[in-house]
Chains A and B, each alone.
Chain A
Amino acid sequence: MGRFLLRRALLAVPILWGAATLAFLGLHIVPGGIAQAILGQHASAAAIAQIRHQLGLDQPLYVQYARFLMSAATGHYGISFRTHDSVATDIGQALPYTIQLSCAALLLALVLGIPSGAVAAAREGSLVDTALSSGVLVGVSMPVFWTGLLLIIAGAAKLGWFPISGALTPGVIVPHVTGMPVVDAALAGDPAALGDAVVHLALPAIALSLYPLAFIAQMTRAALVEALGEDYVRTARAKGLSARVTVLHHGLRAALIPVVAVVGLQLGGLLSGAILTETVFAIPGIGWLTVNAILFRDYPVVEGVVVVTVALFVLVNLLADVTYAVVDPRVRY
Chain B
Amino acid sequence: MRNGWVRRGVFGALAAALVATLGPWMPGSGAAPALAASRGASETVRIAIATDPTGLDPESVLQNEAGFVMSTIYDGLTKYRPGTTTVEPGLATSWAISQSGRRYVFTLRRGVTFQDGTPFDAKAVTAWLDRILNPRDPHYVGNQQGINDFNHFTFGDVGSYKALAPDKVAITLKKPNAEFLADLAMAWSGVTSPTAVDRYGYGLMTHPVGTGPFAFVRWARGQYIELRANPDYWGGAPRVGEIIFQEIPEASVRLLSLEQGKVQILGDVPPQDVARLRHMASVRVLTQPGLAVDGISLPVQTPPFNDVRVRRALNYAVDKRVLAKDLFFGLAKPMNSPDSTDEWSYVAQTSYTYDLATAKALLREAGYPNGFAATLYTYTNPRGYNPAGGAKVAEAIQGDLARVGVRLTIRQMDFAAFLSTVRKASFSGMASSGWSGDNGDPDDFMQPLYGCTAFDTGNSSHYCNKQVDAWFAEGLRTTSEAARKKIYAQVEARIWRDAPWIYLVYATQVRAESADVHGYLLNPTEMFFDMQRVSISSH
Number of interface residues of A (CB under 8 A): 58
Residues from chain B with Cβ under 8 Å of A153 in the complex: 19, 22, 25-26, 256
Residues from chain B with Cβ under 8 Å of A30 in the complex: 414, 417
Query: In the complex, are the beta carbons of B249 and A282 less than 8 A apart?
Result: yes
B84 at the interface (CB under 8 A from A): no
**Could you tell me the distance in whole angstroms from the C-beta of B462 to the nearest C-beta in chain A?**
14
Contact A297-B246, Cβ < 8 Å, known A157-B260, A158-B26, A164-B256: no
A165 at the interface (CB under 8 A from B): yes
Query: In the complex, are the beta carbons of A170 and B262 less than 8 A apart?
Result: no
Residues facing A in B14-68 (CB within 8 A) are 14-15, 18-19, 22, 25-27, 34, 46, 51-52, 54-55, 62
| Closest chain B residue, CB of each to CB of A282 | B248
**Could you tell me the distance in whole angstroms from the C-beta of B40 to the nearest C-beta in chain A?**
13
B257 at the interface (CB under 8 A from A): yes
Contact A32-B221, Cβ < 8 Å, known A84-B205, A166-B246: no
A64 at the interface (CB under 8 A from B): no
Query: In the complex, are the beta carbons of A170 and B220 less than 8 A apart?
Result: yes
Query: In the complex, are the beta carbons of A279 and B249 less than 8 A apart?
Result: yes
Residues from chain B with Cβ under 8 Å of A242 in the complex: none
| Closest chain A residue, CB of each to CB of B37 | A160
Query: In the complex, are the beta carbons of A170 and B244 less than 8 A apart?
Result: yes
CA distance A166 to B416 in the complex (A): 30
Complex interface bits, A133-147 against B, C-beta within 8 A gives 1, otherwise 0: 000000000000110
CA distance A55 to B144 in the complex (A): 11
CA distance A102 to B159 in the complex (A): 56
Query: In the complex, are the beta carbons of B250 and A280 less than 8 A apart?
Result: yes
Query: In the complex, are the beta carbons of B457 and A297 less than 8 A apart?
Result: no
CA distance A152 to B62 in the complex (A): 33
| Closest chain B residue, CB of each to CB of A38 | B148
CA distance A169 to B174 in the complex (A): 51
A182 at the interface (CB under 8 A from B): no
**Could you tell me the distance in whole angstroms from the C-beta of B284 to the nearest C-beta in chain A?**
20
Q: Which of B144, B248, B253, B417 meets A149, CB within 8 Å?
A: B253
Residues facing B in A261-295 (CB within 8 A) are 276, 279-284, 288-289, 291-292, 295
Contact A32-B249, Cβ < 8 Å, known A84-B147, A145-B15: no
Query: In the complex, are the beta carbons of A279 and B226 less than 8 A apart?
Result: no
Number of interface residues of B (CB under 8 A): 66
Residues from chain B with Cβ under 8 Å of A283 in the complex: 222
| Closest chain A residue, CB of each to CB of B16 | A149
Q: Which of A31, A38, A152 meets B421, CB within 8 Å?
A: A31
A167 at the interface (CB under 8 A from B): yes
Query: In the complex, are the beta carbons of A164 and B249 less than 8 A apart?
Result: no
CA distance A156 to B252 in the complex (A): 13
Residues from chain B with Cβ under 8 Å of A150 in the complex: 18, 22
Q: Which of A93, A94, A292 meets B51, CB within 8 Å?
A: A292
Query: In the complex, are the beta carbons of A170 and B1 less than 8 A apart?
Result: no
Query: In the complex, are the beta carbons of A40 and B224 less than 8 A apart?
Result: no
Segment at the B interface, from A75-83, A117-125, A212-220: A75-83
Query: In the complex, are the beta carbons of B253 and A81 less than 8 A apart?
Result: no
Q: Which of A42, A47, A166 meets B223, CB within 8 Å?
A: A166
Residues facing A in B252-272 (CB within 8 A) are 252-253, 256-257, 259-260, 262
A-B contact sample (8 more), CB < 8 A, given A83-B55, A297-B416:
A40-B2, A42-B458, A152-B253, A165-B253, A166-B246, A280-B15, A289-B222, A295-B6
Write 19 A-B pairs (CB below 8 A) sorted by A numbering.
Answer: A31-B417, A32-B413, A32-B419, A40-B62, A41-B1, A41-B419, A84-B202, A146-B14, A146-B18, A149-B250, A157-B260, A158-B26, A166-B223, A167-B223, A170-B220, A280-B15, A282-B223, A282-B253, A284-B221
Q: B interface vs A, CB < 8 Å?
A: 1-3, 6, 8, 11, 14-15, 18-19, 22, 25-27, 34, 46, 51-52, 54-55, 62, 144-148, 152-153, 202, 205, 218, 220-224, 226, 244, 246-250, 252-253, 256-257, 259-260, 262, 413-421, 423, 435, 438, 448, 456-458
Return the 8 tightest CB-CB contacts between A and B, nearest first. A284-B222, A32-B416, A32-B417, A45-B456, A31-B417, A40-B1, A42-B1, A36-B416
